[in-house]
Amino acid sequence: MGLTGLEIFKQLPKKNCKECGQPTCLAFAMQLAAGKASLDACPYVSDAAREALDSASAPPVALIKIGAGEKLLELGNETVLFRHDKRFEHPSGIAIQVNDNEDVKAKVEKINKLVFDRVGQTHEVNLVAVNNASGDAAKFAEAVKTAQENTQYPLLLIADAAAMEKGLEVAGANKPVVYAADANNYEAMVNLAKKYEAPLVVKGNDLNSLAELVEKVMALGYKNLILDSGSRELAKVIADQTQIRRQALKLFRPFGYPTIAFANNDDAIIESLNASTYVAKYAGIVVMNSAEAEHILPVITLRLNVYTDPQKPIAVESKIYELLNPGPDAPVLITTNFSLSYFCVAGDTEGARQPAYVIPVDTDGISVLTAWAAGKFTPETIADTVKNLGVMDKVNHKKIIIPGGVAVLSGKTAELTGLEVIVGPRESAGLPSFFKQRWNQ
Amino acid sequence: MAVNVIKERWTSKVAEMKLGPNEIKIGGESTLPFLHFEGEMPHRPVTALEVIDMEPEDYPDMLKEPFASVLNDPVAWAKKVVEYGADMVALRLMSAHPDWKNASADEVAATARAVADAIDVPLIVIGCGVEEKDGEILPVVAEKLEGKKCLIGCVTQANYKSVTAAANGYGHCVIASTPLDINLCKQLNILINEMGLPLDRVAFDPLVGALGYGIEYAYSIMERARTGALTGDKTLATPVVCFVGQEAWKAKEAKDPDAAEWGPQGDRAILWETTTATTFAIAGGTIFIMRHPESIKRFNAFIDEAMKSNAY
Amino acid sequence: MFEIIGERINGLFVDIREAIKNKDPKPIRDWAVRQANAGSYWLDINTGPVASKEEQAEIMAWLVKTAQEAVDLPCCIDTTNWLAMEEGLKVHKGKGMINSTTAEQAKMDALFPMAAKYGAAIVALTMNEKGVPKSADDRIALAMELVANADAYGIPMPDLYIDPLVLPVNVAQEHSPEVLEALRQVKLLANPAPKTTCGLSNISQKAPDRPLINRTYLAMAMVCGLDSAVMDAEDAPLVDTAATASILLNQSIYCDSYVKIFRQR
């Protein structure tokens, strides 16, 4: 959306000189808002006003790219405060921190292992943050070199200007995140970031000082930015992240960039819980210390869940799923390939300790009742799937079980498949009882 | 340029509910979760630990361990729950399930009363999950618990009439449960209210899914409901109940001691349950029914921090 | 949420005129309650014709006080008499609404400051000394004047209710679509955008089957962004139409009892 008439009017000189061909500045503003005039027609508009009006067409949250190659990370282009209004666009990047005065290689190798398979997709962390804990520029450069040589992930460099210079000599070509420009060092940091075209974090002590500093950085001609509002306590981070997103969406330009949040905590459980919250609450990058699977997996899983497009739920592959080593007398359960449907059936079946085959019919990832209403979960599609997957070859019976909600399909499905079609419970939570009473008695 | 802090102008709030013999208050929020700078959260989210009225068969060892000597004694179990610092006790009457003991309404009501008499904190009583049976037992339970101001659930479109009438008559609140559908949720609240139970005696249960198992569905329902509550939608302006423990401990990630690629079970399981809870807390949940005492400890520490001021 | 401005407490109606004459509060209170129960968000208060300005001011204050004794609703103070306007605002509990100003500079210079002084919302008509313009563009040009002046006087946009002036379809049919287009464009004037309102009953003045015309136009106008309307709150099909349009526009969460819920505040 471009600027409104009132927003444009506020930038105009308000002389009503008529040199633009309109009777008043107000009328000119209306024409501009409607795209029917050009700002050039006004001889008296100031440079600042021109800048403000030009930036109106840029997206609310800038698109920032970190790193290069296969593991390049993109952040930004967000347009909403709530995922249900549309969706969140670029999942938060998770950065695991390694200090330059510890065993860098060992930790980096641990970080590389934080790769998990969920709902048939690969999910992993995104950045290695190298921190100049030693205060020594040479040591920092060495740590950066070790990190770079031992991981594919882009880097996030945490250092003062002198050490940063050394670090960037090593890693600059791969566009790492430069952390950070503050009120004291921003000119030097901007020069460094510009040289390597690397994304630069701008750090304030609070929202006001952050906005002020971003404007100074932008005035030096650099817009490849990430924002740190300076808060580190849970309630304040939640508030600041929310404010920055709200401001960005209202086109307050100093906040039109992705953010970074630090969850780092000596207590790994607190760190993991806070990191998950920051992922859900708008942070572009979330930094953590722990590289242990048990602390990282929940954060990665929540990120996957929150960033799922509400319009396009995740689907599982339509194939034979074997739960708990099913034998030839195991039941065959039919469901859809909506991942939630599959996981509910699988979860409740395993919860009942029942070995079984689960067959998700490809319904474009739609759930049972909706797919039935949409004509994608039908006797025909069920019969085709059962036949094509050949699941009945694995069992010594001729029975399949369909969800209770689509009981009406049982007759036709039996006809098409030549099998006995048993109507199961309406909710997967009824499966344990069902197995007890109807399958295993 | 100084930043003009953006504060939403909310016009209404979540209803405030009173539970238990000491009338503990919950709900009443006039802002989005933890955004203290633009409204109030007069009461923090509360925790409950589950007590089951028969020894659970599906608890992994990690879950049995904190309740080792009391798993077959609901009264003792409830007292242990209070010892562990839960704000409320959630008693699940599983023995009434037709496939389990098929206990009678009188039997389970007696258990419920015994538990209620043994504790000072509010009691949440949940049926066996079979709608028809719950429709029979919960009114009897409600009568037996008169005076205790309990939260009774879960009522559904199928059984809400008998249970609501009893809850209303005997001074209790109800949990209205609908499967991940905000429109049905709103409608059920209205139907219950039409029977004469005021909306500040209704909480809704959206049937939450655990982390990794559909958490985002209830998350968005709760965010939409909270925004509605703050902008004048009274029928969704009720506290929200999250059955976190039941869902989180179904997950392999919580209950499987051996999944090496996911790290050791200790932290993993607690984080699975607690992350599920904290995620719903930031979406607007009010009552968190969990299973492991360490989870409520961690959850409360999180809430301590989240309740701190963030005024500008 | 769509805001119904109940139109019934108007001295043009015989029972209200009598009540004013006899200083009888009962009809005022009754109509306040009836309109509140029908789902009104605001109560329009209009004294009808009164000879002296001072007397009108007294009557307005009495009407506002009496209505607010019966219900906890804000009032829309409907008069061209600035003295009566101010007297009404003085006794008003909570945020009232000034009904109305036009885009004539003298009126804006008097009424916007008054709105700011009392923290009131204000209805702003897209007309000036030259009358009511015909095209949407011309209505919008006047709307822009109203927006800029309101903003300069510190009125927040959500408190500004632009009224593009509905005229009777039986004599001014060509205005009907122009009003709808103007409603749509008002939302592009500022961010946050001003609200919109209209005198709905005007569309059907002196036509047969007024309820049919009223509810059809209401649905059409809500699609174009109409936020509120001065209307007959007891016309049940009209209110049902507003409730249904609101759900169809995804303005509030659907439930099967939405028609009933819409009337509950």
Interface check for B4 against chain C (CB to CB < 8 A): the answer is no
Q: What is the pLDDT of residue C265?
A: 66
Q: Which residue of C has its CA nearest to A28?
A: C141
Q: What is the pLDDT of residue B256?
A: 87
pLDDT digits 0-9 by tens, A305-360? 999 998 877 888 899 999 999 999 999 999 999 887 888 898 889 888 899 999 99
Q: What is the pLDDT of residue B292?
A: 98
Sign of the torsion angle spanned by Cα atoms C168, C171, C176, C182: negative
Interface check for B258 against chain A (CB to CB < 8 A): the answer is no
Asked whether residue B2 is domain-assigned, the answer is no
Percent pLDDT > 70 in chain C is 100
CA C94, chain centre distance (Å): 17
Q: What is the pLDDT of residue A441?
A: 66
Radius of gyration (Cα) for chain C, nearest Å? 18
pLDDT digits 0-9 by tens, B7-20? 999 999 999 999 99
pTM of the model: 0.86
Average pLDDT of adjacent 10-residue blocks, chain A of 441 residues: 80 90 90 83 86 77 95 96 95 98 97 88 95 97 97 97 97 97 97 97 97 96 97 98 96 95 98 98 98 97 94 85 94 92 86 93 86 88 96 95 92 95 88 89 66
* CA–CA separation, C213 and B35 (whole Å): 45
User: Which of A1, A5, A7 has its CB closest to that of C144?
Assistant: A5
Beta-strand relationship, A127-131 and A93-99 = parallel
Q: How many domains does chain B have?
A: 1
What residues of chain B, 198 to 257, have a C-beta less than 8 Å from chain A?
209, 211-217, 219-220, 223-224, 227, 250-253
Query: Which residue's entry shows tokens 């949407």?
Result: C136
Q: What is the pLDDT of residue A2?
A: 65
Partners of A340 on chain B (C-beta within 8 Å) are: 209, 213-214, 217
The answer to whether C124 touches C170, Cβ cutoff 8 Å, is no
Asked whether residue B5 is domain-assigned, the answer is no
Asked whether residue B262 is domain-assigned, the answer is yes
Q: What is the pLDDT of residue A1?
A: 45
Full domain range(s) for residue B236: 20-306
3-state secondary structure A240-274: HHHHHHHHHHCCCHHHCCCEEEECCCCCHHHHHHH
Residue-averaged pLDDT of chain C:
96
CA A238, chain centre distance (Å): 17
Look at residue C179 and give its three-state secondary structure.
helix
Identify whether B242 is preceded by a cis peptide bond (ω within 30 of 0): no
**CA separation, residue A281 to residues A87, A244, A274, B224, B310 (Å):** 13, 11, 10, 16, 15
* CA–CA separation, C189 and C206 (whole Å): 34
CA B187, chain centre distance (Å): 20
Torsion angles phi and psi, residue B241, rounded to 5: -100, 130
pLDDT band at C191 (very low <50, low <70, confident <90, very high): confident
- The one-letter amino acid at A368: V
Asked whether residue B300 is domain-assigned, the answer is yes
**CA separation, residue A218 to residues A172, A223, A249, B193 (Å):** 21, 6, 19, 56
**CA separation, residue B76 to residues B31, B72, B81, B147, C98 (Å):** 39, 9, 9, 22, 65
* CA–CA separation, A400 and A386 (whole Å): 9
Identify whether A95 is preceded by a cis peptide bond (ω within 30 of 0): no
Identify whether B309 is preceded by a cis peptide bond (ω within 30 of 0): no
Count of Cβ atoms closer than 10 Å to residue A172 Cβ: 20
Partners of B212 on chain A (C-beta within 8 Å) are: 118, 301, 304-305
What is C3-262's CATH number?
A: 3.20.20.20
Please work out, in degrees rounded to the nearest 5, the angle formed at the alpha carbon of residue B279 by the alpha carbons of A158 and B24.
125
* CA–CA separation, A166 and C227 (whole Å): 60
Q: What is the pLDDT of residue A440?
A: 83
Query: Which residue's entry shows tokens 């009164």?
Result: C50
Q: What is the pLDDT of residue B252?
A: 84
* CA–CA separation, B83 and B77 (whole Å): 10
- Bridge partner list, C230: C5, C199
* CA–CA separation, C56 and B207 (whole Å): 59
For chain C, give percent helix, strand, coil, nearest 5.
50, 15, 35
What are the residues whose beta carbons fall under 8 Å from the beta carbon of C182, sequence distance 6 or more? C126, C136, C139, C140, C143, C164
Q: What is the pLDDT of residue C151?
A: 96
Partners of B232 on chain C (C-beta within 8 Å) are: 1, 265
| Distance in Å from the first CA to the final CA of chain B | 16
What was the ipTM of the complex prediction?
0.97
Count of Cβ atoms closer than 10 Å to residue C29 Cβ: 18
Asked whether residue B28 is domain-assigned, the answer is yes
CATH classification at residue B248: 3.20.20.20
Q: Under an 8 A CB cutoff, do C191 and A27 touch?
A: no
Q: What is the DSSP letter of B180?
A: S
- Bridge partner list, C78: C99
Query: Which residue's entry shows tokens 């009188």?
Result: B106
* CA–CA separation, C73 and C79 (whole Å): 19
* CA–CA separation, A267 and C34 (whole Å): 61
Q: What is the DSSP letter of C128?
A: B
- The one-letter amino acid at B207: L
DSSP, residue by residue, A194-248: HHHT--EEEE-SSHHHHHHHHHHHHHTT---EEEE----SHHHHHHHHHHHHHHH
- Chain C residues with CB under 8 Å of a chain B CB are 1, 158, 252-257, 260-261, 264-265
Residue-averaged pLDDT of chain B:
95
* CA–CA separation, B75 and B67 (whole Å): 12
Q: What is the pLDDT of residue B39?
A: 97
Q: Under an 8 A CB cutoff, do C253 and B231 touch?
A: no
Torsion angles phi and psi, residue A174, rounded to 5: -95, 20
Please, what's the b/e burial string for B46-80 (b: 16 or more CB within 10 A of its CB; e: otherwise)?
A: bbbbbbbbbebeebeebbeeebeebbeebbbbbbb
Query: Which residue's entry shows tokens 């079946």?
Result: A349
Q: Which residue of A has its CA nearest to C157?
A: A6
* Alpha helices per DSSP H over chain C: 14-22, 25-37, 53-70, 82-91, 105-118, 136-152, 175-186, 210-223, 236-248, 258-262
| Regions of chain B where pLDDT drops below 70 | 1
Domain spans in chain C, listed from the N-terminal domain onward: 3-262
Query: Which residue's entry shows tokens 């027609």?
Result: A41
* CA–CA separation, A351 and B251 (whole Å): 9
Q: What is the DSSP letter of A68?
A: -
Report residue C82 as tokens.
């600035």
CA B38, chain centre distance (Å): 26
Q: What is the pLDDT of residue B1?
A: 64
pLDDT band at C38 (very low <50, low <70, confident <90, very high): very high
Q: CA-based diameter of chain A, in Å?
A: 92
* CA–CA separation, B36 and B34 (whole Å): 5
DSSP, residue by residue, A172-196: GGG--EEEEE-TTTHHHHHHHHHHH
pLDDT digits 0-9 by tens, C141-178? 999 999 999 999 999 999 999 999 999 999 999 999 99
Chain A touching partners, 3 or more CB pairs below 8 A = B, C
Q: Which residue of C has its CA nearest to B189?
A: C255
